[in-house]
Amino acid sequence: MTDILMPKATAVWLVDNTSLTFDQIADFCGLHPLEVKGIADGEVARDIRGADPIANGQLSREELDAAQNNAKYRMKAQKSRHAELLKPVKKAPRYTPVSRRQDRPDAIAWFIRNHPEVADSQIARLLGTTKATIDQVRNRAHWNAANIKPVDPVTLGLATQMELDAVVRKAADKKAKDDARRGVVEPDGPTLEPASATGAVFAAAPEPVEADEPHYDDEDGDED
């Protein structure tokens, strides 16, 4: 049997507009008969608007009439003309214009220098490159390594700012979770350990030495 699009909405319409049994509707929509009974009682799918399976091409009028005339008849669904439009479309690989391809090593170098937390798979997907090329740039083994300079991929036109922000944010969140799992705490700033923890020994400050005052014996103030 062809899978029904919007099975509950279809069941709502069949309950409201036909004389089919709960078993017939359940079999056609891929639901449990008790679920269809709940729809009829207003306990299930209360806020769902009915979807006409004849109008959307999933059921023929002949099939519906045959089922209404025979409670044992089980309707056969047709392939909906909308099914192809509702199929998930696999995202095509990112296409990079030929004029921009020589800029990708610069963008890779930018990620390596500024965001090492971003995984190679994320960089490859964003820039439309390969992990092998990323390794070559990282290890300075790229054929043009001498001329590679880190440049923001947005500036190079290889990604939008929103795409870049999303990749960096996702990588940062993953790193934070991994650090928390390992019990790593990032300090807010440089801290100084107490002397007792470092084992440093400090010498006591020397006692201040008072200078000798000049001594006067005679009234003229001549110094001895």
In tens, the pLDDT along 190-207 reads 444 444 444 444 445 455
Structure tokens at 46: 């209360």
Predicted confidence at residue 178, as pLDDT, reads: 86
- Same domain as 103, residue 51: no
- pLDDT bucket at 106, cuts 50 / 70 / 90: very high
* pLDDT at site 119: 93
Nearest alpha carbon to residue 107 among 143, 156, 140: 156
Burial string for 34-59 (b: 16+ CB within 10 Å, else e) reads ebbebbeeeebbeeeebbebeebbbb
User: Which residue has better confidence, 175 or 194?
Assistant: 175
Residue 19 falls within a domain, yes or no? Answer: yes
pLDDT at residue number 24: 94
Q: Are residues 78 and 150 in the same domain?
A: no
Q: pLDDT at residue 170 above 60?
A: yes
Whether 217 maps to a domain, the answer reads: no
193 falls within a domain:
no
Q: What is the mean pLDDT of residues 129-141?
A: 92
pLDDT of residue 169: 92
Asked if residue 108 and residue 79 are part of one domain, the reply reads: no
Instruction: Supply the DSSP string of 168-192, one letter for each residue.
Output: HHHHHHHHHHHHHHHT----SS---
Residue-level pLDDT at 186? 53
Residue 196 belongs to some domain of the structure: no
When divided into structural domains, the chain yields a total of 2
Whether residues 109 and 132 fall in one domain:
yes
Share of the chain above pLDDT 70, in %: 71
Compute the average pLDDT of residues 80-88.
53
Could you give the C-alpha distances from 152 to 40, 142, 149, 158, in angstroms and in order?
A: 59, 19, 10, 9
Q: Which of the four pLDDT bands, split at 50, 70 and 90, describes residue 44?
A: confident
Query: Domain limits at 56?
Result: 7-86
pTM for the structure as a whole: 0.42
Is 120 a domain residue? yes
Task: Please check whether residues 76 and 124 belong to one and the same domain.
Answer: no
Do 172 and 125 share a structural domain? Answer: yes
